[in-house]
Amino acid sequence: MPHRTTPSPAPNSRTTLRTIPQTVASPVLVAWSGGLDSTVLLHLLAQDADVRGRGLRAVHVHHGLHPEADAWAAHCETLAQAWSVPLTVVRVDVARDSGLGPEAAARQVRRAAFAAELREGECMALAQHRDDQAETFLLRALRASGPDGLAAMRPWRNFANGWMWRPLLDTPRAVLRAHADQHGLHWIEDPSNADPGFDRNFLRLKVMPLLRERWPHADAALSRAAQLSAEASDILGERDGAILASVREEFGAGLSIAALRLLSPARRARLFRHWVSTLGWPPLPAEGVARIEADLLAPRDEVHDRLPGFAWHGVEIRRWRDALHAVDGNHDLPKDWSCAWDGSAPLALPNGDTLRLEGVARFPTPLRVHARQGGERILLPGRGPQHHSLKHVLQDMDIAPWHRSRMPLLRTDDGTLLAAGDRIRSAGFDLWMQAHDASLVWTLRRDHETAGT
């Protein structure tokens, strides 16, 4: 239910907002849960004529996890109308079996909802404050994070189609509470915030009060430590891009194992984390760095797995052809998928890739597109009457295994294999394509994993 308390004395501090860089005249989208912090942030921005002039709106994510979720959304809608702030309520489903835990799973879908809602060039405003920053620093330290992790939350960074802005990171929560009391604001109290079973709540409810008893300025000190870590991270990061480029293979997007071995273990660990970050993947865990060092960088005669790798959260780093490669298993074509196609229009594949026929209107008869099943054979141009194993053809052409599993095959209704992707064609199909000056084009979904391959 919306909450309001008797006003309390204001601390000797003011609620201040970081200024949006003058070079960025962005409209602002506030992530509004309806709680104290985001309500104060929206109230402050709603009173700022400059922000109003740029464009101000809010988004509320309805997780559906609490019986009062509908009431919370209704509270936000009522208050947004009173403040003349356009509000979008986004309903999401939080997977309870994702393996991430309830906090992380909710955060993941919430972040995805924010990214989808953010318009081109818009600025996403979040209400994390100094107390949150101190807790985040401690959580990262307990997970043995390095400077990048200990940098905790940044006040300003790129996000989705625009930017992410945290204007309250230097502001104590007590100041936000005083502002809410002074202006008679109403906000939502989520009862889950009182559950010490969640890591962050345990720090907030149990650990931080003890630290403040001994060190009254613990929040400020920990927040300052996060800022210093961010500065150190930025200095180290200035070389990350150049080093990453120096260890890339001459062709493709993999990292040369020989070049990696010339780096120190500490530099390699930082490079792996930077590489994963550029892919937009979940952070590489400490176990992952250790496994890559032990299993993937070993001399060839010590690598026993046919295709060794380290996987986490649906993505994987694999060793293949003396290089490390970033692989997203979500790109594989479903084994049971197939589709009739006459070539008259581009074909959207289930994994986001596309297949199109160029130079001719359509095939003489509809053909069937499907995923590899294994055991396929093909009659190749100029190779005589012998049918060849598609598996061996792919190996001979040095096509990476993860591209083989996403490769669309084209066949006739009687099962004759005509093409695999856009580089392998049967003898008869090749003659037909040449006669009509036609070509088959397989376009991979553009992302970091496919870039340069």
Binding residues for ATP: 33-38
| 76: alpha, beta or left? (left if phi > 0; alpha if psi -120 to 50) | alpha
- Burial code (b: 16+ CB inside 10 Å, e: under 16) for 348-387 equals ebebebebbbeebeebeeebebbbbeeebebbbeeeeeee
Q: Which amino acid is at 41?
A: L
Which 8-state DSSP code applies to residue 248?
B
Check: CB of residue 27 under 8 Å from CB of residue 200. no
Tokens matching residue 21: 């860089």
Residue 242 CB coordination number (10 Å): 8
Query: 3-class DSSP state for residue 256?
Result: strand
Q: Could you give the C-alpha distances from 88 to 11, 27, 43, 225, in angstroms and in order? A: 34, 15, 17, 36
Rounded distance, CA 167 to CA 124, Å?
A: 10
Strand partners, 30: 58, 125
Burial class (CB in 10 A: 0-12, 13-18, 19+), 297: middle
Beta-bridge partner residues of 62: 91
Handedness of CA 107, 110, 115, 116 (dihedral sign): positive
- Contacts of residue 240, defined as CB under 8 A and 6 or more positions apart, other chains included, come to 270, 271, 274
- Binding residues, by number, are 33-38
Measure the CA–CA gap between 362 and 414, rounded to whole angstroms: 19
